[in-house]
């Protein structure tokens, strides 16, 4: 049958499941290479054991289907959307890309906008699954396992099963949803059919402890009800054990916030004035904190406790050094430690750190495999009543602390650096650059190090309008996904 005749025929494509992307990809490739137009193809999902035989024309000899490489990634994500017309839509995109290779870059095109919206919906649904799956324990001893019920908007169970394997490797667990189930026995992941809510347990003995914990970590001073309900829509509340506490916590938030402010400490722990640099194997740091004897990151971290290179050490609780593996392929550089980091002695553990961790996780970047540090190692702040308000480091302080950054990079030897904000970019590049204009770009230094420019995650927290905050979060997620691609490359 010639291509012209093929276009006169109609084709019914039967996929094995709602997530049979490989089946769709094979059929789409064969049909596109035979010039079969989108409007003559109907797409179906087979049910039961009787599946019609696929009878597609073979690809013409020597024919090649050339489309942008990143289309497959976009299509694979959008394929998980619950829109029943997605199979036909993605084939239409494929059909257009053969002759419009720049299509994905045309933001105003209706098909491109629809593809982006579908991807965003799938990623958001995945984020909600990561956040709102609640396991309940059943059985004891050898029979112990954990079961959760979740109701996603899209077909995301298979896509997210590996996330739960990584996070709960030591548990035996099952996640039930109306569309599919995932079961991990400690060694093997199995995917199965959907289930009913009644198949999952209603509660367990741990939930009272979890509600107590949730009630105690609630921060009424940061409560924004509309933003909270946007991040945690009420549809998830019925499956969350802590949801019963939320109405009363909201009602009492104003009084609780005032009580919390009254109990705040007046200053950081005073022990920083008594900190003395510990002895190195051969020598101690001098009055500037300078040390050439460090051969490991742990030794360099120890030396930083005696840093006096700029005046910031006088008011800070302690130096906050970087964390991560000594052989990390990428180093993330922030601005400086905040209030919580200053007290904990660890980078990125405060509110911005939680946003950072969440988005890294969503982008598929394992924080345990990257190194995280700051351009300035001491907390700079202005006292305001009983609170310590962040103050941006000046160029002199950044320059003084670059001694430590340079040695971190010299010991770790990463392939890529990620500058989180303007202060980090100044530290890494030695000059001020406009982050808004260079965001998403890779700048190569004279020594060959690639530096990726983006915002600091604290910027997201400073946005008040929920829609704007969500848009900026999505943009930062895209930046982190680009970082992941750069790491792989």
Quick: pLDDT tens for 411-462.
999 999 999 999 999 999 999 999 989 999 999 999 999 999 999 999 999 9
What pLDDT band is residue 286 in, cutting at 50, 70 and 90?
very low
Distances (CA, A) of 60 to 25, 26, 34, 76, 350: 17, 14, 7, 25, 58
What pLDDT band is residue 260 in, cutting at 50, 70 and 90?
low
What CA–CA distance (Å, rounded) separates 52 from 114? Answer: 31
Res 263 pLDDT > 60: no
Res 261 pLDDT > 90: no
Four-point Cα dihedral 266, 269, 271, 273, nearest 10 = -50
| 1-29: burial string, b at 16+ Cβ within 10 Å, e else | eeeeebeeeebebbbebbbbbebbbebbb
- The pLDDT assigned to 247 comes to 72
- The pLDDT assigned to 77 comes to 95
Tens digit of pLDDT for each residue in 13-64?
999 999 999 999 999 999 999 999 999 999 999 876 666 666 677 778 878 8
Tens digit of pLDDT for each residue in 315-349?
999 999 999 999 999 999 999 999 999 999 999 99
Res 464 pLDDT > 80: yes
What CA–CA distance (Å, rounded) separates 219 from 260? Answer: 9
- The pLDDT assigned to 254 comes to 64
Res 282 pLDDT > 50: no
Q: What is the mean pLDDT of residues 354-375?
A: 93
- Of 393, 448, 439, 401, the C-alpha closest to 420 is 439
Q: What is the mean pLDDT of residues 134-154?
A: 89
What pLDDT band is residue 232 in, cutting at 50, 70 and 90?
low
- The pLDDT assigned to 385 comes to 80
Res 225 pLDDT > 70: no
- The pLDDT assigned to 467 comes to 79
- Of 443, 450, 453, the C-alpha closest to 480 is 453
DSSP 261-303: HHTS-SSS-GGGGG--PPPPSS----TT---S---SHHHHHHH
Residues with Cβ within 8 Å of 398's Cβ and at least 6 positions away in sequence, in order, are 375, 376, 423, 426, 427
Q: What is the mean pLDDT of residues 245-266?
A: 60
- The pLDDT assigned to 278 comes to 37
What CA–CA distance (Å, rounded) separates 180 from 80? Answer: 12
Res 275 pLDDT > 50: no
Contact criterion met (CB below 8 Å) for 156 and 129: yes
- The pLDDT assigned to 132 comes to 85
- The pLDDT assigned to 142 comes to 83
What pLDDT band is residue 227 in, cutting at 50, 70 and 90?
low
- The pLDDT assigned to 335 comes to 96
Distances (CA, A) of 196 to 149, 180, 193, 235, 252: 9, 10, 10, 16, 36
- The pLDDT assigned to 279 comes to 33
Beta bridge partners of 115: none
- The pLDDT assigned to 134 comes to 85
- The pLDDT assigned to 280 comes to 35
What CA–CA distance (Å, rounded) separates 487 from 331? Answer: 11
Distances (CA, A) of 364 to 349, 367, 451, 480: 19, 9, 20, 9
- The pLDDT assigned to 62 comes to 79
Q: Regarding beta strands 381-384 and 371-374, do their DSSP bridges make them parallel or antiparallel, or are they unpaired?
A: unpaired
Could you give the percent of the chain with pLDDT greater than 70?
Answer: 78
- What is the overall mean pLDDT for the chain? 84
What CA–CA distance (Å, rounded) separates 300 from 309? Answer: 15
What pLDDT band is residue 249 in, cutting at 50, 70 and 90?
low
Contact criterion met (CB below 8 Å) for 335 and 452: no
Q: What is the mean pLDDT of residues 383-398?
A: 89
Res 276 pLDDT > 50: no
Highest mean pLDDT (candidates 52-56, 222-226, 473-477): 473-477
Indicate whether this model's pTM tops 0.75. Answer: no
More confident residue, 247 or 115: 115
Strands (DSSP E) contained in 185-255 are 189-193
Within a 13 Å sphere around the CA of 262, how many CA atoms are in the beta-carbon half?
A: 6
Q: What is the mean pLDDT of residues 462-470?
A: 84
Long-range contacts of 251-256 (CB under 8 A, 24+ apart): 252/220, 253/220, 253/223, 254/220, 256/218, 256/220
88-97, 160-169, 241-250, 398-407: the lowest-pLDDT one: 241-250
Q: What is the mean pLDDT of residues 278-291?
A: 42
- The pLDDT assigned to 269 comes to 45
Contact criterion met (CB below 8 Å) for 268 and 312: no
Long-range contacts of 238-247 (CB under 8 A, 24+ apart): 239/132, 239/134, 239/149, 239/150, 239/151, 240/132, 240/134, 241/134, 241/203, 241/207, 241/210, 241/211, 242/210, 242/211, 242/214, 242/215, 244/211, 245/211, 245/214, 245/215
More confident residue, 211 or 83: 83
CA angle, 175 as apex, 172 and 177 as ends, to 5°?
165
Radius of gyration of the chain (CA): 27
- The pLDDT assigned to 156 comes to 96
């Amino acid at each position: 049958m010639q291509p012209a005749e093929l276009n006169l025929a109609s084709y019914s494509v039967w996929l094995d499941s709602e997530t049979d992307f490989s089946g769709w990809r094979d059929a789409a490739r064969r049909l596109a290479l035979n010039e079969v137009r989108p409007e003559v193809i109907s797409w179906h999902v087979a049910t039961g054991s009787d599946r019609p035989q696929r009878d597609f024309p073979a690809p013409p000899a020597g024919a090649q289907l050339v489309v942008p490489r990143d289309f497959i990634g976009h299509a694979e994500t959008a394929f998980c959307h619950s829109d029943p017309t997605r199979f036909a839509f993605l084939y239409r995109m494929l059909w257009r890309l053969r002759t419009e290779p720049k299509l994905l870059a045309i933001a105003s095109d209706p098909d491109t906008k629809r593809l982006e919206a579908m991807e965003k919906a799938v990623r958001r649904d995945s984020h909600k699954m990561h956040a709102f799956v609640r396991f309940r324990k059943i059985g004891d001893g050898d029979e112990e396992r954990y079961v959760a019920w979740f109701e996603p908007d899209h077909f995301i169970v298979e896509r997210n099963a590996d996330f739960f394997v990584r996070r709960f490797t030591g548990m035996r667990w099952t996640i039930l949803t109306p569309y599919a189930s995932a079961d991990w026995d400690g060694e093997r992941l199995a995917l199965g059919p959907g289930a009913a809510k009644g198949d999952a347990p209603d509660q367990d003995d741990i939930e009272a402890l979890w509600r107590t914990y949730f009630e105690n970590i609630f921060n009424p001073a940061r409560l924004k009800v509309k933003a909270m309900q946007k991040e945690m829509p009420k549809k998830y509340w019925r499956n969350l054990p802590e949801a019963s506490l939320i109405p009363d916590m909201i009602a009492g938030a104003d009084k609780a916030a005032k009580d919390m402010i009254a109990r705040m400490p007046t200053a950081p722990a005073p022990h920083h004035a008594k900190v003395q640099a510990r002895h190195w194997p051969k020598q101690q740091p001098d009055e500037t904190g300078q040390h050439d004897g460090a051969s490991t990151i742990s030794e360099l971290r120890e030396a930083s406790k005696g840093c006096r290179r700029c005046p910031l050490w006088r008011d800070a609780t302690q130096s906050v050094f970087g964390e991560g593996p000594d052989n990390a392929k990428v180093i993330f550089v922030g601005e400086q430690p905040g209030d919580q980091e200053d007290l904990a002695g660890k980078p990125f553990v405060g509110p911005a750190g939680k946003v950072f961790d969440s988005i890294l996780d969503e982008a598929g970047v394992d924080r345990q495999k990257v190194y995280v540090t700051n351009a300035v190692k001491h907390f700079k702040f202005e006292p305001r009543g009983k609170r310590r308000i962040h103050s941006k480091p000046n160029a002199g302080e950044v320059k003084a602390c670059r001694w430590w950054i340079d040695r971190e990079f010299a010991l770790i030897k990463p392939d890529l650096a990620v500058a989180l904000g303007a202060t980090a970019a100044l530290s890494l590049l030695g000059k001020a650059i406009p982050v808004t204009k260079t965001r998403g770009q890779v700048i190569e230094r004279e020594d060959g190090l690639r530096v990726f420019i983006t915002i600091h995650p604290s910027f997201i927290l400073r946005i008040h309008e929920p829609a704007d905050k969500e848009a900026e979060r999505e943009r930062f997620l895209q930046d982190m996904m680009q970082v992941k691609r750069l790491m792989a490359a």
